[in-house]
Structure 1
Amino acid sequence: MRQNQFTQDRRYDPKAIAQYYRSRPWQAIWRALTIVWSFAGFVLGMIWDSWQHEIAAHQPERASHLRQILTRLGPTFIKVGQALSTRPDLIRKDFLEELIKLQDQLPPFDSAIAFSIIKTELKREIDSIYSQISPEPVAAASLGQVYRARLISGEEVAVKVQRPNLQPVIALDLYLMRWAARWLAPWLPLNLGHDLTLIVDEFGIKLFEEIDYLNEGRNAEKFAANFADDPTVKVPSIYWRYTSNSVLTLEWIEGIKLTDTQRIQAAGLDTNSLIEIGVRSGLRQLLEHGFFHADPHPGNLFAIADGRMAYIDFGMMDQLEEPTKETLVDSVVHLINKDYLHLASDFVKLGFLTPDTDIHPIIPAMEAVLGDIIGESVGNFNFKTITDSFSELMYDYPFRVPAKFALIIRSLVTEEGLALTLNPNFKIVEVAYPYVARRLLNGESPALRRRLIEVLFKDGKFQWQRLENMIAIARSDQNFDLFPTAQLGLQYLLSNEGAFLRRQVVLALIEDDRLHTQEVSRLWDLVKEDLKPGRLFNAALGALAEFSTEGAAALARF
């Protein structure tokens, strides 16, 4: 079997990779010895600390040493370190803090080699493609480097060139990791909940996708289509004529890194507006489209002079299925409502707890960790704080982080860190919950309408306070107009689908043998500024005009 048989396919195939390297054991043995030698000093140091009862004293030093080892071992291990930095079920808090510092940057490789790759991949001479190209890369990372250029046709572009011989190197590392995972898994005291080799395979799939620039180009276009209706988000165009598996040519974005607060302020950009764009676009990715950017680090997000935010680098993306998106909405609502029993059930559905787990002993611990999420200041409580707290819980309870959610956690923690850089008083939940409340109130789909009913009714009783809270929180979003929501709600109540809710609303008004005029009065005081009688009357006429004869008959029968 020739090497290019598994590298040309561009898909992660552990069986093909294993077959190749089993027939070339010297390559695997030499790389394995290099890896073992690199980690030997670290392991011996940990053992020595244990013998001397000085583990706590030397923990920061050991954590830093681990980060340096991963950096020296190259691209695969840098990516492993970044992935582990989002796995509180596998790595303790002190090591997490050090691994988070890993920067996806390496010294650039020779530009002569890069230009040779461009020429070979695109089958053209450099000067027949670009009227000019920077002699040195403007950015270098673990998997490739970027040049600034101008096409012959005049467009300014970024040219991303992959490091030479990258896929075989990564494939060999993944082969060795998978072999080690298979042998070490039974001996590791970790709450994995499933075969450790599956984690390696998930990582391998994403890493192989990331080094396929044609796949990255398709991801960029899909992401752009999802945000075509959002004028605040910019996605660079792909120049397919000058793109291959190892060379990606895309529109040059002249922007400012979100961590460069001085330049952002000098450009007169509103930092709070940029935060709102970042958080809302992140929530839309997770809860609406299900297709999300899994690596939103400072080098991949830029502020543009016109106030927009630009996303670049779409190598690491992932897709959420519809039931997962719906459960995520549930979990946010249950978290804010402090409904920890149902939140624990959400964790089971999402895979953080196995179905046979007894959730009742876990509920008090979850309440202790998450109970003050709304009341705490951002400096004391945020996503990173939640992650750190769970890293301690996971050694006492059978939590695990599914591979897909490791990417989500990484994305959320990174986005929150960027937001805090722009505004230290920012609190992501204050943007997230109004967004979720607005989506629930709008009831854009039958699934969301069902979830709204679940939120508003508990043990068969209408939760007046929850409705008040949800409306108040949704209205804290300045872009939220309650009137279209009320219009949709009225149409829903008059529809066949709304028959159950009609009955429940009537029962709620006379619940406990009394008219709930006080609750209705409070609600009216809350919404009357948005629901002027004239607008409400016109909405009612519109809803009735769309109301079917069958629906009217059903309402008359009721």
Structure 2
Amino acid sequence: MQQQLMSSPPPANSALQRYDARKIASYYRWRPWKALWRLIYIISLFNGFIWGLLWDRWTHTSTAHYPQRAIQIRKILTQLGPTFIKVGQALSTRPDLIPKDFLTELMLLQDQLPPFPNEQAFAQIEAELRQPVREIYQEISAQPVAAASLGQVYRGRLFTGEEVAIKVQRPNLRPKLTLDLYLMRWMAARFGRFLPLNLGHDLTLIVDEFGTKLFEEIDYINEGQNAERFAENFKEYPAVEVPRIHWAYSGRKVLTLQWINGFKLTDSQCAVEANMDPDRLVQIGVISSLRQLLEFGFFHADPHPGNLFATSEGSMAYVDFGMMDQLDQTTKNTLVDAVVHLVNKDYELLATDFVKLGFLTPETDIRPIIPALEDVFDDIIGAKVGDFNFKTITDRFSELMYDYPFRVPAKFALIIRSLVTQEGVALCLNPDFKILEVSYPYVAQRLLAGETPDFQRRLLEVLFKDGKFQWQRLENLIAIAQTDQSFDLIPTARLGMQFLMSDEGDYLRRQVVLALIEDDRLHTEEVERLWNLIKGDLKPEKLFSVALGALAEFSDSNLPEWLPRPPLPVS
């Protein structure tokens, strides 16, 4: 009986809900002809490209022909369909693997294909929801309003009167993806070790991780749950809008969600005609991205212009939550550490951060890398904020990839893609935009607030260097934070007072006293500059109230005799 079960063919791969390399391989072992014909087609398309590369090498014209070959590979990937389009998009964020000319061209890969017929789309809806389309939707558009490589979208209306977007997956998508993933993994297992790639591990693991993410992206139930989680994170931030999911009319291959009235953020002229402030939209986008990475750890990994809308109310709407990822608390903490060490120009600790984040392996000798980091980042940190953007970092950092054993972990490839895309959208709305003009105030506020012990520790790292208090750094942090008009120094001062008066603040209390009399002189000039900077936000009476409020957090036994007790609550 057991032998009979083992010799039976596996179930169809279209039934797989999650990526499973073993089951997919077992399926195609029983159907080798399917894999063979697809493999022949792939090889036939790549054949000319590979011979072209070899010819360029033999004739010593590789550099001159790079742009031509980059266009050629983009067209081949588009012709091969959804799986290869997604591969190309993933590679567009890997400067450790792909030459710069190819990266630029792969970024142009459009996640678009011609729409498939309505008859197939409506049949998909009826099969998934088990009702005729006319009984589900009061209205549905005659043609799709958008078509991508994995599905297409219709505009409709429920019988309750609500306008909705109806997302329908392409027919037979899962079998096509599994066949391509099977062939990619098969080739990676046999030829991956011969490729001069700086991966740090088996290429088949890269394929498996890619396959896992791709299967998550085509599961619309997973996408709907992602949307609800994202909305929960931003429920206190109305500037970010997320469409509501209509679960009664959704399944794994069909997703019905609230229709967003707005325009894509590439349509900057629409923003002008609607009398909207492009700078406000830019600020919303950057701050929301930073909150995703540094606060929630749950981030939108595909914020391309087609997935971002501006509404008439002045908010930004995110759509399409198929490609999301999660950062654990340790990674979030290390990211903030890296920012602090970068600001402090402590490149030895920054190199250690790269090891913790997976950009360098633990056994890497970081000593020769430290001066290289200094060469790359010193100019960037020394530049004015207005002359700096995120792409500057990625371009300069990519120069290190071929000289030192850096690699980009898959998770950070998604983060890089997210940030570069977000900055590209911002530059479309405002060509003079500089990302640090918006992001620095946010990071400075988080550090100054010291909401958690981790942030308090990082603030101390910024303010003290070699045991000496850095007055200029404190002034810079406050000045940068104040560039955001919504910044309120009072809550920050309250948290600071509470920390100073706690047991954990003992070290800081002593250091502040030492800073005031450092080098055998009273630092009145620095104190005066600092007071002039904050006096508009901290009137003496407000400051006294903040101090009393901080003291009120402690019991009466901890208060000095000469201080007034907080009033008792009225019953």
- TM superposition score normalised by structure 2: 0.94
Identity %: 68
Equivalent position of 1:15 in the other structure: 22
Between the aligned partners of 1:362 and 1:257, the Cα distance in structure 2 is 42
Query: Which of 183, 196, 209 is the aligned partner of 2:203?
Result: 196
Where do 1:215-230 residues align within 5 Å?
A: 215-230=222-237
Given that residues 447 and 458 in structure 2 are in contact (C-alpha distance below 8 angstroms), is that contact kept between their aligned partners in structure 1? Answer: yes
Task: List per-residue Cα deviations over 1:503-525 (Å, max 9, x = no partner).
Answer: 22223223333333332222112
Report how many aligned residue pairs link the two structures.
554
Where do 1:78-157 residues align within 5 Å?
A: 78-157=85-164
Structure 1 letter corresponding to 2:502: S
Instruction: Please state how far the C-alpha of 1:544 moved relative to its aligned partner.
Output: 1.4
Given that residues 294 and 317 in structure 1 are in contact (C-alpha distance below 8 angstroms), is that contact kept between their aligned partners in structure 2? Answer: yes
Equivalent position of 1:240 in the other structure: 247
Cα RMSD over matched residues?
A: 1.8
Between the aligned partners of 1:278 and 1:2, the Cα distance in structure 2 is 50
1:412 equivalent to 2:431? Answer no
Instruction: Please state how far the C-alpha of 1:469 moved relative to its aligned partner.
Output: 1.3
Q: Which runs of 4+ in 1 moved over 6 A?
A: 377-380
Q: Could you tell which deviates more after superposition, 353-362 or 243-252?
A: 353-362
Where do 1:118-517 residues align within 5 Å?
A: 118-374=125-381, 376=383, 381-517=388-524
Given that residues 239 and 284 in structure 2 are in contact (C-alpha distance below 8 angstroms), is that contact kept between their aligned partners in structure 1? Answer: yes
Instruction: Please state how far the C-alpha of 1:381 moved relative to its aligned partner.
Output: 4.8
Between the aligned partners of 1:81 and 1:39, the Cα distance in structure 2 is 14
Between the aligned partners of 1:13 and 1:550, the Cα distance in structure 2 is 62
Task: List per-residue Cα deviations over 1:428-467 (Å, max 9, x = no partner).
Answer: 1221121111001111111111111122222222222211
SS at match of 2:138: strand
Equivalent position of 2:5 in the other structure: none
Given that residues 6 and 13 in structure 1 are in contact (C-alpha distance below 8 angstroms), is that contact kept between their aligned partners in structure 2? Answer: no
Instruction: Please state how far the C-alpha of 1:118 moved relative to its aligned partner.
Output: 0.3
Structure 1 letter corresponding to 2:418: S
Between the aligned partners of 1:337 and 1:276, the Cα distance in structure 2 is 26
- TM superposition score normalised by structure 1: 0.96
Task: List per-residue Cα deviations over 1:298-328 (Å, max 9, x = no partner).
Answer: 1100111111000000000000001111111
Instruction: Please state how far the C-alpha of 1:33 moved relative to its aligned partner.
Output: 1.3
Equivalent position of 1:546 in the other structure: 553
SS at match of 1:497: helix
Between the aligned partners of 1:325 and 1:533, the Cα distance in structure 2 is 37
SS at match of 1:547: coil
Between the aligned partners of 1:44 and 1:551, the Cα distance in structure 2 is 80
SS at match of 1:318: strand
Cα pair distance change 1:33/1:333, threshold 3 Å: same
Between the aligned partners of 1:5 and 1:28, the Cα distance in structure 2 is 14
Given that residues 128 and 251 in structure 2 are in contact (C-alpha distance below 8 angstroms), is that contact kept between their aligned partners in structure 1? Answer: yes
SS at match of 1:161: strand
Task: List per-residue Cα deviations over 1:351-410 (Å, max 9, x = no partner).
Answer: 111122222322232233222335557997533333233333211011100000000000
Instruction: Please state how far the C-alpha of 1:341 moved relative to its aligned partner.
Output: 2.3
Between the aligned partners of 1:452 and 1:268, the Cα distance in structure 2 is 40
Task: List per-residue Cα deviations over 1:180-199 (Å, max 9, x = no partner).
Answer: 22222321222211222221
Instruction: Please state how far the C-alpha of 1:294 moved relative to its aligned partner.
Output: 0.1
Structure 2 letter corresponding to 1:536: L
Given that residues 10 and 23 in structure 2 are in contact (C-alpha distance below 8 angstroms), is that contact kept between their aligned partners in structure 1? Answer: no
In the alignment, structure 2 segments of 5+ residues that lack a partner are: 1-7, 564-571
Equivalent position of 1:524 in the other structure: 531
Q: Could you tell which deviates more after superposition, 49-58 or 123-132?
A: 49-58
Cα pair distance change 1:482/1:377, threshold 3 Å: closer
Instruction: Please state how far the C-alpha of 1:552 moved relative to its aligned partner.
Output: 4.9
Instruction: Please state how far the C-alpha of 1:2 moved relative to its aligned partner.
Output: 6.0
Cα pair distance change 1:257/1:177, threshold 3 Å: same
Task: List per-residue Cα deviations over 1:71-109 (Å, max 9, x = no partner).
Answer: 000000000000000000000101001000001000011
Given that residues 388 and 435 in structure 2 are in contact (C-alpha distance below 8 angstroms), is that contact kept between their aligned partners in structure 1? Answer: no
Structure 2 letter corresponding to 1:493: L
Cα pair distance change 1:478/1:28, threshold 3 Å: same
Given that residues 13 and 174 in structure 2 are in contact (C-alpha distance below 8 angstroms), is that contact kept between their aligned partners in structure 1? Answer: no
Instruction: Please state how far the C-alpha of 1:550 moved relative to its aligned partner.
Output: 6.5
Q: Could you tell which deviates more after superposition, 161-170 or 23-32?
A: 23-32
Query: Which of 29, 46, 64 is the aligned partner of 2:36?
Result: 29
Between the aligned partners of 2:384 and 2:503, the Cα distance in structure 1 is 45
Q: Could you tell which deviates more after superposition, 459-468 or 297-306?
A: 459-468
